[in-house]
Structure 1
Amino acid sequence: MGRGSAGAGWPAASPPPACDGLQWRLSDVAELPLVREELRRRIDAQEPADLRDRLLLVLDEMASNALRHGGGRVEASVRRTGNAFLVAVSDGDARTPPTPAVDRDPSEGGLGLHLIAELSTAHGWYVEGDAKTVWAVLPRT
């Protein structure tokens, strides 16, 4: 794999500290086009277009996974951390870790976690209370 590796599962780890950014509360995948549009508008125009595209893809994959499989409330954020962006998505299924698809035909889907691992320099997940948070760091350079 590339920079990151999804392996058999994602590592249980806390994300790096992050500051100012965007945050959304989501209840349906139908809200994702509006979230993507807001992210496109709000990411600094000085950021490279390929970085914006990667952020959009990672956020969309994480949020759609949480909405489809996470149960309950979903919160998503994109924040700055040093020379990178931290994408984090929380859902109400604290008992189920993010598990990348293994030995599955790509046409059946389920490869989003592998893709996120490839695009990120670090990724992981943690549980706080009754919420699970899945996160990934995408470098700005």
Structure 2
Amino acid sequence: MGRAAAGAGWPTASPPPAWDGLRWRLSDVTELPRVRDELRRSIDAQGLAHLRDRLLLVLDEMASNALRHGGGRVEASVRRTGDAFLVAVSDGDTGTPPTPAVDRDPSQGGLGLHLIAELSTAHGWYVEGDAKTVWAVLPRH
């Protein structure tokens, strides 16, 4: 399967090349506290505490969306791109693009994609094979 059509406000695009980082296979939202703890320790060990909250928020929003709505296996990663970090989360729902909430009461949720877009310098999604990947790039400064 090739690249899928874009969702409203969330572009279809490939992420920049990335390397070195953390990866997780997830099956339930109850695993997210462990993942957040691992990422927090890694960020602090690299002396990048100023990025901690943004990276944790983006990873948590993307991973929880995939676990709640994505179907199939979920894989998440946080890797370096040179002057930034690439947060990417894949799931098995290739037929549903990431679609930011529009005209919804904030108490009903659905604002995570808007938040990710605001925090990132680039974001997008693509389908490859039997997986959809949603990604965002967060600068290291």
TM-score (norm 2): 0.92
The alignment partner of 1:15 has SS state of coil
1:100 aligns with 2:100: yes
Aligned equivalent of 2:41: 41
TM-aligned CA deviation for residue 50 of structure 1: 3.3
**Whole-angstrom CA distance in 2 between matches of 1:100 and 1:134:** 12
TM-aligned CA deviation for residue 8 of structure 1: 3.0
1:115 aligns with 2:119: no
TM-aligned CA deviation for residue 42 of structure 1: 1.2
Alignment of 1:1-141 (within 5 A): 8-43=8-43, 44-47=45-48, 49-141=49-141
Q: Give the CA RMSD over aligned residues.
A: 1.1
Aligned equivalent of 1:4: none
Which residue identity is paired with 1:25?
Answer: R
**Whole-angstrom CA distance in 2 between matches of 1:46 and 1:59:** 19
TM-aligned CA deviation for residue 90 of structure 1: 0.0
Deviating beyond 3 angstroms after TM superposition, the runs of 4 or more aligned structure 1 residues are: none
The alignment partner of 1:136 has SS state of strand
**Whole-angstrom CA distance in 2 between matches of 1:69 and 1:28:** 11
Which residue identity is paired with 2:8?
Answer: A
The alignment partner of 2:115 has SS state of helix
The alignment partner of 2:31 has SS state of helix
TM-aligned CA deviation for residue 88 of structure 1: 0.0
For structure 2, list consecutive stretches of 5 or more residues without a partner in the other structure: 1-6
TM-aligned CA deviation for residue 110 of structure 1: 0.4
Identical pairs, percent: 87
For structure 1, list consecutive stretches of 5 or more residues without a partner in the other structure: 1-6
TM-aligned CA deviation for residue 52 of structure 1: 1.0
**Whole-angstrom CA distance in 2 between matches of 1:50 and 1:91:** 29
How many residues are matched? 134
